């Protein structure tokens, strides 16, 4: 059984398929506790019922939309989700899996959308000592990220809130070794248009100077920070 927070039809607002109508399957539960998490109902305080594979596939294919995004929370904590991917592929869906890249799975997937968490994610002052320790022990797995990148198509999305964070991305990329510049995306941290604009005021220049892509969070501009979008 897989705990599901929500299944909905919207428009992808981040990354390579920005603007693409998509069905979203949001699993509930996460092995990390980023302080800035904008889906706490699927991580810090997970909500939703446990569902079987057939009911998840049925709900996701009620729309004919070819693109399905599996997100969370952290979808990779649910072993059975591989069966959902198999069933969706039988129905010719394009699958994007959004993950923090701390758990390796060899599932049917068309785009691994990996968002490795930087040191700026540690929930100091927000979580218990135990969770701070868990978070820091689990978040940095370049070996897993590398494996996922080797399994197929990928994009790397880094959440940044300062120039220091952006410099840490460069260190992280150096650790990874080989990577494709067109698949690396710098994403401003923020859940309001005002916050995103403030971040863009320095990040656009930084991206130009480092030949890396800026990846805005378009759904915030379109819908606000709302569930089901
Ligand atoms: S990995 Fe993602 S879902 Fe989990 S706490 Fe961090 S931001 Fe939230």
pTM to 2 decimals? Answer: 0.96
pLDDT value of residue 228? 87
Q: What are phi and psi of 28, to 5 degrees?
A: -120, 125
pLDDT value of residue 30? 98
pLDDT value of residue 13? 97
pLDDT value of residue 90? 98
Q: Give dist(CA 23, CA 21) in Å, integer.
A: 7
C-beta pairs of 126-129 under 8 Å, 24+ apart in sequence:
126/33, 126/35, 127/33, 127/35
CB of 37 closer than 6 angstroms to any ligand 1 atom: yes
pLDDT value of residue 229? 87
Domains, the chain, with CATH or none: 2-159 (3.20.20.70)
Peptide bond into 204 cis (omega under 30): no
CB of 71 closer than 6 angstroms to any ligand 1 atom: no
Q: What angle do CA 176, 33, 171 make, to 5 degrees?
A: 20
Ligand 1 pocket test, candidate residues 30, 40, 42, 44, most atoms within 8 A of CB:
30
61 Cα: distance to centroid of ligand 1 (angstroms): 26
Please give the structure tokens belonging to residue 195. 């916050």
Please give the average pLDDT of every successive group of 10 residues along the chain, which has 229 residues.
Answer: 97 97 98 96 97 98 98 97 98 98 98 98 96 98 97 97 97 95 96 96 97 95 91
Q: Angle formed by the axes of helices 163-176 and 193-210, to 10°?
A: 50
Q: Which strands sit side by side in the sheet containing 49-51, from one edge to the other?
A: 49-51, 2-11, 21-27, 67-71, 94-99, 111-114, 154-160, 184-188, 213-214
Q: Which atom of ligand 1 is nearest to the CA of 100?
A: 1
185 Cα: distance to centroid of ligand 1 (angstroms): 17
54 Cα: distance to centroid of ligand 1 (angstroms): 26
Q: Give dist(CA 218, CA 212) in Å, integer.
A: 18
């Amino acid at each position: 059984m897989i705990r599901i927070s929500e299944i909905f039809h919207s428009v992808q607002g981040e990354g390579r398929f920005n603007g693409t109508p998509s069905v979203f399957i949001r699993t509930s539960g996460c092995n990390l506790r980023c302080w800035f998490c904008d889906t706490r109902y699927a991580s810090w305080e997970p909500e939703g019922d446990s569902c079987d594979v057939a009911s998840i596939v049925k709900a996701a294919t009620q729309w004919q939309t070819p693109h399905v995004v599996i997100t969370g929370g952290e979808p990779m904590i649910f072993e059975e989700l591989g069966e959902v991917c198999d069933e969706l592929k039988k129905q010719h869906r394009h699958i994007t899996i959004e993950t923090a890249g701390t758990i390796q799975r060899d599932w049917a997937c068309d785009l691994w959308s990996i968002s490795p968490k930087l040191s700026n994610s540690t929930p100091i002052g927000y979580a218990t000592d135990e969770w701070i320790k868990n978070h820091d022990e689990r978040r940095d797995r370049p070996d897993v990220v590398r494996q996922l990148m080797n399994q197929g198509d990928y994009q790397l999305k880094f959440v940044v809130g300062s120039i220091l964070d952006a410099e840490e991305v460069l260190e992280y990329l150096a650790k990874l070794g080989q990577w494709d510049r067109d698949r690396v995306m710098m994403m401003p941290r923020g859940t309001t248009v005002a916050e995103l604009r403030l971040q863009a005021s320095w990040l656009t220049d930084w991206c130009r100077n480092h030949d890396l892509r800026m990846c805005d969070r378009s759904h915030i501009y379109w819908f606000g920070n709302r569930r089901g979008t």
